[in-house]
Amino acid sequence: MPEPLASRVASWLVADPDPGDRAELAGLVAAGDVRALTERFAGPLAFGTAGLRGPLRAGPAGMNTAVVRRTTAGLGSWLQRRVTGPPVVVIGYDARRRSDHFALDAARVLAGQGARALLLPGPTPTPVLAFAVRHLSAVAGIMITASHNPASDNGYKVYLGGPVGEAGRGAQLVAPADTEIEDEIAAVGPAAAIPLADGWTRLDASIVTAYVEGAVRAVDTVPPVDGPPLRIAYTPLHGVGADVLEAVFTRAGLPVPVTVVDQREPDPDFPTAPFPNPEEPGVLDAVLALGERVGADLVLANDPDADRCAAAVGGRVLTGDEIGLLLADHVLRARPGPVATTVVSSSALVELARDHGVPCTRTLTGFKWIMRADPGLVFGYEEALGYAMAPDLVRDKDGITAALALARAAQREKRAGRTLLDVLDDLHRRIGVFATGQVSVRLDDLAAVGAAMRRLRTSPPDRVAGRPVTAVRDLLTGAVDGPDGLAGLPPADVLLLELDGGARVVARPSGTEPKLKIYLQAVTDRETVAAIGPAAARRHARTELDALRDGAAALMGVPGPAGGP
């Protein structure tokens, strides 16, 4: 074993407070497994798009007791420099392996620093933790979750409080706070020497009840009218969403959804969905089959921490952008106001906002940016199934309020003998069809991804799939002027190619894997929709989208479409 690595491993072993993690590392040392040890000591986990996230394993590049304690100690030190008196921090956790232990570790570290640590009553959805930060006027929140990652992972999200009226109050942290906290973490001494205390508080179920009541008030701005019963099929994908979602639906006077029995209870092994991301092929098969058996008007799915929501109607799985358009329409009917989405999501929200006469901001990828778009934000979404129906309640994506709003919209349409697919037809007639998809190009390593982005910047194409490139907008250099809500974005490694006819290609690195992600959009304008009808217009847009996929794949030098939506 190289001496620098051996020295780091030895130092970590001495300082690791967890016997199981020490035994894991000691076993790798005894086996001489240099590759596994190199992976575990490749570097500390860093705050990414949604906090820290990594495999459950020993060492600084994994999620483990030492990392959680050091991270919490660094966060606590950073908070204490910025508040008067003991910081109030709320801590939540999901049902993944070790989540409860990590949450307790975080509470004990904060208590050891003199902070007021408030632990949620049990495994709960991420939106409940985000709600609690604002509801309890906490200065920060910690959520132990890996969201929709595989069972082998866990994670650590940080939310920050702030003054009432501040756009980022209760949202996930952004720069420069993230790097400042990472500097504090780096300055923390050995994990085993971090003081712990048991002066933390376990909250009772009233905090969940407050979320449930607030969710119904926020979404049901127009009193529901009686009508034919709505049939809904649902799955929480072995996560923690079912109890809270059912409580919200019951409070709202809606029938409790019929749930996939084998996926209802939390299970950290995710036995029927090894990759429990509703966007992944096959993950929704069980709930779609249930929906067909019970004649469901609407099929819903949350990811394991219930901050995302997928939906299907009439056996058709809706895209994240289609759901975003439906939910935006539902919100803007009742309370017009500022909306926001990301640079990689559909431009349809920009057009719908223009139709309603409200501002629409486009942000960098991630809800930490969407939630800071406007203090008066009424709705925000990103194409990866994340929706903020009630930003004043939860300053983050929330799959439970999204599910409630979709159910209310479906109920409204059922009274009129229609479905949400009819609403999409109406919207397409108003603003046109915006078909979106993705190509993921896997390269050899992160350096190759950087080189590919540099090539695109240095020699952007004149045409993609036969369509002229009308504008190149580089977010890394701030070249984002225009009337479509992009002005003022911080620098980011994102390149936008605007094409003739409203089509678009957006390239960015994945950030966590050696992948280049390319987001595509093809548009059929509303004049064409009026001439040929919504169904034909959608087929036309999908054909154009397929051509863009081929063009994007050729642009990156791969033989054919390298990925799908």
Catalytic residues: 147
3-state secondary structure 126-187: HHHHHHHHHHCCCCEEEEECCCCCCCCEEEEEEEECCCCCCCCCCEECCCCHHHHHHHHHHH
310 contacts 317 by C-beta, under 8 angstroms: yes
Pairing type for strands 298-302 and 504-509 reads unpaired
Phi, psi at residue 315, to the nearest 5°? 80, -5
Residues in the chain, overall count: 565
Orientation of helix 206-219 relative to helix 126-135, angle to 10°? 90
Pairing type for strands 360-363 and 339-342 reads parallel
For tokens 């001495």, name the residue: 14
Q: Which residues have CB under 8 Å from 400's CB, separation 6+?
A: 125, 127, 215, 241, 244, 245, 248, 302, 306, 309
- DSSP assigned state of 63: B
- What is the distance in angstroms between the CA of the first residue and the CA of the last residue of the chain? 43
For tokens 């087929």, name the residue: 539
- DSSP assigned state of 193: G
- Report the DSSP beta bridge partners of residue 387: 381
Helices (H), 19-89: 19-31, 34-40, 65-80
Q: Report which of 190, 212, 65 is spatially closest to residue 135, judged by C-alpha positions.
A: 212
The tokens for 7 are 């020295």
Q: Report which of 168, 171, 251, 241 is spatially closest to residue 210, judged by C-alpha positions.
A: 251
Q: What whole-number distance in Å separates Cα of residue 76 and Cα of residue 195? A: 12
List Cα–Cα distances, 147 to 121, 124, 275, 385, 479, in angstroms: 19, 12, 11, 12, 33
Q: Give the side-chain half-sphere CA count within 13 A for 488.
A: 10
Orientation of helix 399-415 relative to helix 420-431, angle to 10°? 90
Question: Angle 65-514-473 (CA atoms, 0-180°, nearest 5)?
Answer: 115
Q: Report which of 368, 367, 331, 324 is spatially closest to residue 346, judged by C-alpha positions.
A: 324
- DSSP assigned state of 56: B
* Number of H-type helices and E-type strands within the chain: 19, 22
The tokens for 430 are 């108003």
- Report the DSSP beta bridge partners of residue 311: 300
Q: Which helix (H) or strand (E) holds 215?
A: helix 206-219
